[in-house]
């Protein structure tokens, strides 16, 4: 049960490989779907998928005027809301870095979009009557294990202003079907615009505290840091980012691409937690030009983009780069971070045209 | 576009990692489900998931008295059959070997069980009237790419005697829902008892040949070999195998397990393509004793087993070992194979009891 793990360079360890086998990415050709088919949605499971128990109830406790428990059946009788939400793992792109932090070695596939149906968290907090002394609200998941030597359940918190937003959901359905075990059955939190760690799965308790939550995954995990020992800045909104469907057809082992010469429509998606996407550029061998960006159809979901590439024989490097309405633009190189969080450096795809 | 790839030792390459991120394993705690939830079923996608086209038809061609095409709507009007089938990737366990063949580096998670609904292949072959000269039947999938320098679509064949078995299905539904894109939508072959490579996804054509099919994935891929250049023996029926749900709770990065002292029920599944499972043994620190094996409930699905482990403080190694009704028994060490096929060496799980 290790403490902080020393950084890695070069090939991947057996531990990283085992995490990659469990924590599935979305194959990039699935970017063709507005809503990711459920079985293709990326997964980040900290510990084990816990079993669903028949006695499950959601408990609301702590600084509340009227603490209560509620069953899934009761939750389903409350007014429901469906939100289409793009979620990205804060560690997406970590595996591209060198040195890299030993954790899930995402290359670029830790992002997906789903339609989540449930009850706005604000409705339950309203019924419970959040007391004015409450400073933080903790969400406890049923998955339990060790990280850096500390046994804990996965738990995260939100400040009351954010928790009361109408679009923060307690979701019991995904893409119109009951929540699957791996996505948090029977109930999960969904926090749009934030990196995925905020959307606690297998939720069983919500607790209002008079102080900031000091759990490991909140106070120490999921922070941007430049050096070990720093307090760092917490990961919050998803940074501006974009991906393309790799054109052509792949080699099985190297996944390198081969395409036929001629006009090729390159398509992809772009997103930012902070604002709509206003521009996507397609880079071909270092030359950038604007792609067509579709209007935002759902406030919390990625936007489609496309561009025509006049592919000529030879070896080429494609790249894509998004800019949001606040002027935030993806960097050409991965930003530096000790734990590999927030890597929104541009995707690069190598294609041989024949 | 490489030819045969030299074997690897030690840490995993970026190519292996990318394949592990795309080709998902079943997290072993999902062994608790008789039928694997769809989004947790393992995936082996040779190339890219192809898009479904509105004009899709299944074509039956070659040595047939009455070649024909059929739409999905027409297929769905034919008498349907549902089969619960355990599928395992022929390369499952490859990543445990050293040296290992550069391919999908499964550790042990490339196995799952689903309920497939569709039309028996025999019904369509009956309608087409297989001619007596037909020696082999090819199944062509729409996924296309390169392997060992050769561009091809994924295609496999079955000899007529096997193709006419009543339990070989053309499936359009999985676990009661339409076939998801990643599992072969709109139509796939399902060949019970065989390793997964026989169950061609994204099926668009069936062709009866007067000779054995010589496609790369049939004539050269998926063969047991002890040295490069050998013709080898084709992979067919799944070897006897078993897995357990790792007891206790994991460390996030190492996945090592910690459990509390006392009686722990260890549960798992066992399967063999050739015959029912008649015995499973649980090994604790090298001492073996019989587990309780449940009766086979479905001819083509894994069987549940369980045993009580009196866990005492300290470090322990658990293992499980199945034997089928033909007397085939898992080896204690992985069997040797050049490409890492058919690794049914016993699973070993390390648990610290506190």
Other C-beta atoms lying within 10 Å of the C-beta of residue A321 = 23
Residues A217 and A341 in one domain: no
For position B36, what pLDDT does the model report?
98
* b/e per residue A159-188 (b: at least 16 CB within 10 A): ebebbbeebbbbbbbbbeeebbbbbbbbbb
Q: Is residue A6 part of a domain?
A: no
Residues B88, B237: Cα–Cα separation, whole Å: 10
Contact B107 A182 (CB under 8 A): no
Residues B184, B203: Cα–Cα separation, whole Å: 7
- Which A residues 245-274 touch B at CB under 8 Å? 246, 249-256, 258
Q: Does A60 touch chain B (CB under 8 A)?
A: no
Q: Does B79 touch chain A (CB under 8 A)?
A: no
- Which A residues 210-229 touch B at CB under 8 Å? none
Residues A345, A253: Cα–Cα separation, whole Å: 24
Residues A267 and A136 in one domain: no
Q: Does B48 touch chain A (CB under 8 A)?
A: yes
CATH number for position B336: 2.60.40.650
State which H helix or E strand residue B17 sits in: helix B14-22
Q: Taking a C-beta distance cutoff of 8 angstroms, is the pair B241, B271 a contact?
A: yes
Give the C-alpha distances (Å, rounded to integers) separating A319 from A240, A287, A289, A316, A347. 15, 9, 11, 10, 5
Residue A104 burial (10 A CB sphere; 0-12, 13-18, 19+): buried
Residues A92, A343: Cα–Cα separation, whole Å: 6
Rg (alpha carbons) of chain A, rounded to whole number: 21
Q: Taking a C-beta distance cutoff of 8 angstroms, is the pair B164, B233 a contact?
A: no
Residues A59 and A190 in one domain: yes
Question: Over 80: is that where the pLDDT of A307 sits?
Answer: yes
Nearest CA distance, A47 vs chain B (angstrom): 6
Residues B224 and B292 in one domain: no
Closest by Cβ to A144, choosing from B30, B144, B249: B249
Residues A77 and A131 in one domain: yes
Contact A255 B19 (CB under 8 A): yes
Residues B198, B155: Cα–Cα separation, whole Å: 9
A129: CB partners within 8 A, 6+ apart: A64, A65, A66
Q: Taking a C-beta distance cutoff of 8 angstroms, is the pair B293, B343 a contact?
A: no
Average pLDDT of chain A, as a whole number: 96
Nearest CA distance, B301 vs chain A (angstrom): 21
Question: Over 80: is that where the pLDDT of A327 sits?
Answer: yes
For position A105, what pLDDT does the model report?
97
Residues A113, A301: Cα–Cα separation, whole Å: 7
Give the C-alpha distances (Å, rounded to integers) separating A126 from A61, A164, A211, A342. 13, 9, 20, 33
Per-residue pLDDT, averaged over A209-224, amounts to 97
Q: Is residue B4 part of a domain?
A: no
Q: Is residue B8 part of a domain?
A: no
Contact B15 A255 (CB under 8 A): yes
Q: Which of B164, B146, B144, B166 has the alpha carbon at shortest distance from B155?
A: B144
Per-residue pLDDT, averaged over A103-123, amounts to 97
Q: Which region, left, alpha or beta, applies to residue A184 given φ > 0 means left and ψ of -120 to 50 means alpha? A: left
Closest by Cβ to B252, choosing from A46, A250, A254: A46
Q: Is the dihedral of CA B229, B231, B233, B235 positive or negative?
A: positive
Contact B147 A252 (CB under 8 A): yes
Q: Is residue B40 part of a domain?
A: yes
Contact A10 B11 (CB under 8 A): yes
Query: How many structural domains does chain A have?
Result: 2
Question: Over 70: is that where the pLDDT of A70 sits?
Answer: yes
Q: Tokens at residue B261, please?
A: 């002292």
Question: What strands, in cross-sheet order, belong to the sheet with A150-158?
Answer: A68-70, A58-62, A203-209, A136-147, A150-158
Q: Is residue A8 part of a domain?
A: no
Q: Is residue B5 part of a domain?
A: no
Per-residue pLDDT, averaged over A139-160, amounts to 97
Q: What is the dihedral of CA B5, B7, B11, B12, to 10 degrees?
A: 30
Residues A39, B89: Cα–Cα separation, whole Å: 18
DSSP string, A135-147: -EEEEEEEEEEEE
Residues A166 and A248 in one domain: no
Please list the residues that pair with A174 across neighbouring strands: A116, A177
Of B179, B202, B234, which one is at a domain's C-terminal end? Answer: B234
The answer, yes or no, to whether the previous bond of A186 is cis (omega within 30 of 0) is yes
Per-residue pLDDT, averaged over A115-132, amounts to 98
Residues B229 and B250 in one domain: no
For position B3, what pLDDT does the model report?
53
For position A3, what pLDDT does the model report?
53
Rg (alpha carbons) of chain B, rounded to whole number: 21
Residues B191 and B60 in one domain: yes
Beta pairing, strands B347-353 & B257-259: parallel
User: Helical H runs in chain A?
Assistant: 14-22, 72-77, 121-128, 160-163, 216-219
Distance of CA B343 to the CA centre of its chain: 12
- Which A residues 143-162 touch B at CB under 8 Å? 144-147, 151
Q: Taking a C-beta distance cutoff of 8 angstroms, is the pair B16, B102 a contact?
A: yes
Contact B250 A146 (CB under 8 A): yes
The residue of B22, B155, B243 whose CB has the most chain A CBs within 10 angstroms, and thus the best one to mutate to test that interface, is B22
Report, as ranges of residue numbers, the positions in chain B whose pLDDT lies below 70.
Answer: 1-3
Q: Which domain holds residue B184?
A: 14-234
Q: Tokens at residue A134, please?
A: 């409450």
Q: Taking a C-beta distance cutoff of 8 angstroms, is the pair A115, A183 a contact?
A: no
For position A1, what pLDDT does the model report?
36
Residues A211 and A297 in one domain: no
Q: Is the dihedral of CA B207, B208, B211, B217 positive or negative?
A: positive
Q: Is the ipTM of this complex over 0.90?
A: yes
Q: Taking a C-beta distance cutoff of 8 angstroms, is the pair A142, A191 a contact?
A: no
| Residue found by looking up tokens 């359940």 in the block | A153
Residues B153 and B33 in one domain: yes
- Which B residues 273-332 touch A at CB under 8 Å? none
DSSP string, B171-196: EEEETTEEPPGGGTTT-EEE-TTB-G
Q: Is the dihedral of CA A193, A194, A200, A206 positive or negative?
A: negative
Residues B29 and B153 in one domain: yes
Of B175, B200, B234, which one is at a domain's C-terminal end? Answer: B234
Q: Is residue A34 part of a domain?
A: yes
Q: What is the 3-state secondary structure (H, E, C) of A241-307?
A: EEEECCCCEEECCCCCEEECCEEEEEEEEEECCCCCEEEEEEEECCEEEECEECCCCCCCCCEEEEE
Of A219, A234, A249, which one is at a domain's C-terminal end? Answer: A234
Contact A181 B254 (CB under 8 A): no
Residues of A in contact with B20 (CB under 8 A): 17, 20-21
CATH number for position A77: 3.90.420.10
Nearest CA distance, A207 vs chain B (angstrom): 24
Q: Is residue B73 part of a domain?
A: yes
Residues A164 and A220 in one domain: yes
């Amino acid at each position: 049960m290790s403490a902080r793990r020393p950084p890695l360079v070069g090939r991947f360890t057996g531990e990283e490989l085992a995490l990659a086998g469990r924590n599935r990415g979305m194959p990039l050709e699935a970017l063709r779907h507005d809503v990711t088919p459920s079985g293709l949605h990326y997964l980040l499971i900290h510990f084990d998928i816990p079993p669903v128990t028949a006695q499950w109830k959601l408990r609301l406790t702590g600084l509340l005027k009227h603490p209560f428990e509620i069953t899934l059946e009761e939750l389903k009788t409350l007014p429901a809301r469906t939100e289409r939400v793009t979620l990205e793992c804060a560690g997406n792109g970590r595996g591209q870095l060198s040195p890299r932090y030993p954790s899930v070695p995402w290359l670029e596939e830790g992002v997906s979009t789903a339609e989540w149906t449930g009850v706005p968290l604000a409705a339950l907090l309203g019924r419970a009557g959040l007391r004015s002394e409450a400073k933080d609200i903790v969400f406890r998941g049923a998955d339990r294990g060790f990280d850096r030597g500390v046994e804990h359940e996965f738990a995260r918190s939100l400040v009351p202003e954010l928790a009361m937003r109408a679009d923060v959901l307690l979701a019991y359905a995904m893409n119109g079907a009951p929540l699957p075990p791996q996505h948090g059955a029977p109930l999960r939190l969904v926090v749009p615009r934030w990196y995925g760690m905020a959307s606690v799965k297998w939720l069983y308790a919500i607790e209002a505290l008079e102080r900031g939550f000091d759990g490991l995954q909140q106070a120490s995990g999921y922070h941007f840091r430049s050096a070990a020992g720093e307090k760092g800045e917490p990961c919050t909104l998803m940074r501006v980012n974009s991906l393309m469907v790799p054109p052509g057809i792949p080699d099985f082992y190297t996944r390198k691409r081969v395409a036929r010469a001629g006009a090729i429509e390159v398509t992809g998606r772009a997103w930012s937690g902070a604002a709509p996407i206003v521009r996507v550029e397609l880079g071909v061998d270092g030359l950038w030009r604007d792609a067509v960006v579709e209007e935002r159809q759902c406030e919390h979901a990625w936007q489609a983009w496309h561009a025509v590439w006049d592919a000529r024989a030879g070896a080429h490097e494609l790249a894509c780069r998004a800019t949001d309405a606040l002027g935030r633009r993806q960097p050409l190189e991965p930003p530096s971070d000790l734990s590999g969080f927030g890597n929104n450096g541009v995707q690069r795809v190598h294609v041989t045209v024949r």
